[in-house]
Structure 1
Amino acid sequence: MTNAHPTDSRARAVQSSAPLGVGEPAPDFTLVDQYGVDVSLSAVRGLKNAVVVFYPAAFSGICRGELREIRDGLEDFQDDDIQVFAISCDSMYTLRAWADAEGHFFPLLSDFWPHGEVARRYGVLDEEEGFALRGTFLVDRSGIVVWSEVREIGQGRDFTAYREALASLRAGSPDAVG
């Protein structure tokens, strides 16, 4: 299984801790979505696999492109067996404006207060700048991370590897993920 992590020494210095690795339990969370509704990872535990996607900021260039990729190819990222949770440190109001402007209908979750607490628990909070790195965590039904990738703020995700990991997760063969 592949577990990509930042290689830039600055990123390691400002992260709160190392990102969660494959085989680790994914911390549960309850965050408010763009509509003000509480959404929890535990709500899908035992029922669906989950994709937990951290991104730095709504309305920013790379984030816009990445979330459009998820939105436009949602059948690749979310179905009856997989739920997407997209998380940033933006406020619910910012996320609502962004969802309305971009047509995002999957949960955009606000890790605004306590600021970045969920990103910190996943090891992807840039403590100095106050936003999440580009972290993606695939979590199986039992709540275990089966694939992850963490990238720098200015480095977009590899959607080919991401789709391959999702296909393996759907196939029910966690050993093939990554």
Structure 2
Amino acid sequence: MPLEIGATAPEFTLKDQNNQEVSLSDFKGKKNVLLVFYPFAFTGVCEGEMCGIRDNIAAYQNDDTAVLTVSVDSPFAHKVWAEREGFEFPLLSDLWPHGEVAQAYGVFNDEKGMANRGTFVIDKEGVVRFSEMNMPGDARDQQGWQKALKGLSA
């Protein structure tokens, strides 16, 4: 089960597609975070969802909010995918320890060794304000994310 609304978001530090460390605490007190877990780079539904973020980036990433995406792919796979698709938001690698962050957020799929489609909106104080989990192959409705983010800035 994914983390519930009202839970404190677990801290993490992961490497992005440029091999730079990104921590959730980098945003505490500064920005809300849209945290999006996905199974794998270069797959149909995942690519569609990440392109949806890219194509609507102003709705997700601005002075008040940052976007962080996470999968068990390596930073090197993320680099190629980001360059190919024009993703400028962080694609974070939860490769090792394998799926540790996805496990902490309750969205790791033990059977398949990957993250399910977990989405969390975390406020500036590190509290989960939106939580959902879809299974692999089940695309998410990004309108819910936008509504949750708007609710934080209201």
User: TM tier, shorter chain?
Assistant: over 0.9
Equivalent AA in structure 2 for residue 137 of structure 1: F
Q: For residues 83-98 of structure 1, what are the structure 2 equivalents within 5 Å?
A: 83-98=66-81
Gaps of 5+ in 1: 1-17, 172-178
Task: Specify the alignment match of 1:24 in structure 2.
Answer: 7
Q: Does 1:143 find its partner at 2:126?
A: yes
Q: Does 1:60 find its partner at 2:43?
A: yes
Larger radius of gyration: 1
Q: TM-score, normalised by structure 2?
A: 0.98
Query: Out of 32, 35, 38, which is 2:21 matched to?
Result: 38
- After superposition, give the CA deviation of every residue in 1:127-148 in whole Å (9 maximum; x if it has no partner): 1111000010000011000111
Equivalent-residue separation in structure 1 for 2:124 and 2:144 (angstroms): 20
Gaps of 5+ in 2: none
What is the Cα deviation at residue 19 of structure 1? 1.0
Identity %: 49
Query: Out of 102, 122, 129, which is 1:119 matched to?
Result: 102
Equivalent AA in structure 1 for residue 13 of structure 2: T
What is the Cα deviation at residue 35 of structure 1? 0.3
Equivalent-residue separation in structure 2 for 1:160 and 1:138 (angstroms): 13
Task: Specify the alignment match of 2:145 in structure 1.
Answer: 162
Q: TM-score, normalised by structure 1?
A: 0.85
RMSD: 0.6
